[in-house]
Structure 1
Amino acid sequence: MRLLIKQRVFSWTDSYDIYDENGNVRYFVKAELIALGHQLHVYDANQNEIGMIKQKLLTFLPAFEIEIGGRTVGKIQKEFSFFKPRYEIDCNGWRVEGDFLGWDYDVYSGCSSIIHISKELLHFGDTYVIDIANPEDELMGMMLVIAIDAANCSQGD
């Protein structure tokens, strides 16, 4: 299955629209203005809040917690690296590896790639395509992409 994440360009805060492969709105994400960090609320197409991505403050590199249904289900922290962007994640036993420019990522469970994330160029705002092997990983995979984008934005990437 495939999702397309588009950042809203003309918005006061970070906002994203997420579409399925048929162009239907699946989710949208809206940032809450807080001092010194990101707090992103995730809503389904019916405008029900289903999750949140919260930046952890007082960390050397950007770190975020992913909540679904009011429960923390994952954590992600950008790691120091010279060439490839690297992230330490604590979520479902997954790991993330990115390419040299930070435009493509793969999420692995064990040795298998379960999610492929690619950034589309030449768009206003960030635009990502997510290919997900298992539909059950859709929500968590989408929230992971938003957290990676927020980590990159927090560091000015």
Structure 2
Amino acid sequence: MKYYIKQKVFSLKEQFTVKNEDEQDAYYVEGKLFTLGSKLHIYNTNNEEILYIEQKIWRFLPEFDIYQQGELVATIKKEFRFFKNDYSINGPDWDIEGSVMAHDYVIREREKVVADISKKWLSWGDSYAIDIQDNSQKELLLRAVIVIDCVISASRKQGSS
């Protein structure tokens, strides 16, 4: 199943609408404004919170905890590499390959592609497609992609300051 994320271009806070392949809203992501570290809430179409993502502060490289119903379910960390953007995911046995900064990468589980992420270059604002091959893990894959996007956004902000 395909999902599409388009970040709002002119906004005072992080906001994403995740649409399904029929271009209907599937999830809504909203970040907290003026907080120490990123804090994101993911809601379904009934406005029920399904996930909470919180950036750990005082870390050399970005690290995010993912909670579901108040329980820690995964941690995503950016790893230190000289010529490559690598991420580790504590939880599922996934590997991330490709150009993460360009939103052109795949997520593999034991050599099998479970998600393919690609940038949509012809749209206004940051937009990209997420093609999920394993529908049983769709929410976990979507939140992993959202966290990676937060890391990219934070890296770009640090680079511009």
What TM-score results when the alignment is normalised by the length of structure 1?
Answer: 0.92
Quote how far apart the aligned CAs of 1:123 are.
Answer: 3.2
**What does 1:74-93 align with in structure 2 at a 5 Å threshold?**
74-93=74-93
Q: Percent identity?
A: 36
Q: Distance in 2 between matches of 1:43 and 1:145?
A: 16
Q: Which residue of 2 aligns with 1:54?
A: 54
Q: Distance in 2 between matches of 1:70 and 1:145?
A: 20
- Any conservation in 2 of the 1:107–1:116 contact (CA below 8 Å)? yes
1:100–1:74 CA distance, 2 compared to 1 (3 A): closer
Query: 1:26 corresponds to which letter in structure 2?
Result: A
Query: 1:40 corresponds to which letter in structure 2?
Result: L
2:129 maps to 1:129: yes
2:11 maps to 1:11: yes
- Any conservation in 2 of the 1:84–1:98 contact (CA below 8 Å)? no
What TM-score results when the alignment is normalised by the length of structure 2?
Answer: 0.90
Secondary structure, aligned partner of 1:22 = coil
Secondary structure, aligned partner of 1:37 = coil
- Any conservation in 1 of the 2:106–2:117 contact (CA below 8 Å)? yes
Return structure 1 stretches of 4+ with deviation > 3 angstroms. none
Secondary structure, aligned partner of 2:57 = coil
Quote how far apart the aligned CAs of 1:139 are.
Answer: 0.8
Secondary structure, aligned partner of 1:82 = coil
- Any conservation in 1 of the 2:96–2:107 contact (CA below 8 Å)? yes
Quote how far apart the aligned CAs of 1:15 are.
Answer: 0.2
- Unaligned 5+ runs, structure 2: none
Quote how far apart the aligned CAs of 1:6 are.
Answer: 0.9
Q: Distance in 2 between matches of 1:115 and 1:5?
A: 14
Q: Which residue of 1 aligns with 2:24?
A: 24
Q: Distance in 2 between matches of 1:122 and 1:141?
A: 24
1:95–1:81 CA distance, 2 compared to 1 (3 A): same
- Unaligned 5+ runs, structure 1: none
Q: Distance in 2 between matches of 1:124 and 1:23?
A: 16
CA RMSD, aligned part only?
Answer: 1.6
1:36–1:125 CA distance, 2 compared to 1 (3 A): farther
Query: 1:45 corresponds to which letter in structure 2?
Result: T
- Any conservation in 2 of the 1:85–1:102 contact (CA below 8 Å)? no
Query: 1:76 corresponds to which letter in structure 2?
Result: I
